[in-house]
Each structure stands twice: as structure tokens, then as C-alpha cells.
Homo-oligomer: A and B are copies of this chain.
Amino acid sequence: MNSIKNILRNSSLRPTKQRIMIGKLLFNDTNKHVTAESLYRELKASEQKISLATVYNTLHDFCEKKLLKKVNVDAEKVYFDTNTNPHHHFYSDSEKLLIDISKDKIKIHGLPKAPKGKKIKDVELIAHLSDS
């Protein structure tokens, strides 16, 4: 509860009511995957008043401060992952569900070096699932 405030302060984000509400929902659980919409619905259910624009603003702020990680798997929506450690994902296209795969399990060999003037910022691996 107080720790959310500290998280925000440590990231130089003003601990406003709505950021704290969102922070509670996100950081008291581990490895949560949300979309702006899903979070907005969750907040509404909890009787809180918050606008969708604020949810978007906050998610983006949290991403910039590395409190969240953006995951693009599906063209339809952006997911935000509270697990900011380097890691990968399973994704079930049918259920629109993300599952973390811890990175230390996975070794990638043979990645070519980045084109001149560029460097590899992040490697994202998504294993798409289908019903077997």
C-alpha cells in the first residue's frame, strides 16, 4: 500500500490517487498481463472512478519508467506485463492469453549481428499455441 507510493516516487512519478489504484492492481500481483481495457474494467468493478485516458496515460508512464513491459502479440491490442525481467511468452491466439516463459531457460544461438549503426535492444520470442 505504502510501497506503491514508494515505487512511484522512485520512478519520479507523482503518486496520484489513480496511479496508486492502478499500481495496487498491477504490482500486488505477480506476472499480470493486462490490456488498457481489461484494467479499466477491473477498476470500474472496484467502484473506483477513473477515465480510460488515464489508464492509457498511466500504462505508458509505467512503461517509460520500466515498471511494465509492452508486449505486441496480437494486432488487435497491446498487452502490458508486470514482469519486466527479460523473458518470453507463450501466446494462445484462440484464448488471447499470454503465459510467461522465464528467459534463463532459453538459449538463442546464431543471432546475426545488428545492421550497421544499430544494436539489438531486446529479443522477443513468442511461441504461438494452438489446440493439439
Interface set, chain A 113-132, CB cutoff 8 A to B: 114-115, 117-132
A78 within 8 A of B: yes
Indicate whether A58 reaches chain B with its CB closer than 8 angstroms: no
Quick check: B106 and A101 within 8 Å, CB to CB? no
Inter-subunit contact A114/B126 (CB<8 Å):
no
Asked whether, in the complex, the Cβ of A109 is within 8 Å of the Cβ of B111, the reply is no
- B115 touching A121, Cβ below 8 Å: no
- Asked if A73 lies at the interface with its beta carbon under 8 angstroms from chain B, I say yes
Cβ of A14 under 8 Å from chain B: no
Residues of chain A touching chain B, judged by Cβ–Cβ distance below 8 Å, are 70, 72-75, 77-78, 90, 92-93, 99, 101, 105-112, 114-115, 117-132
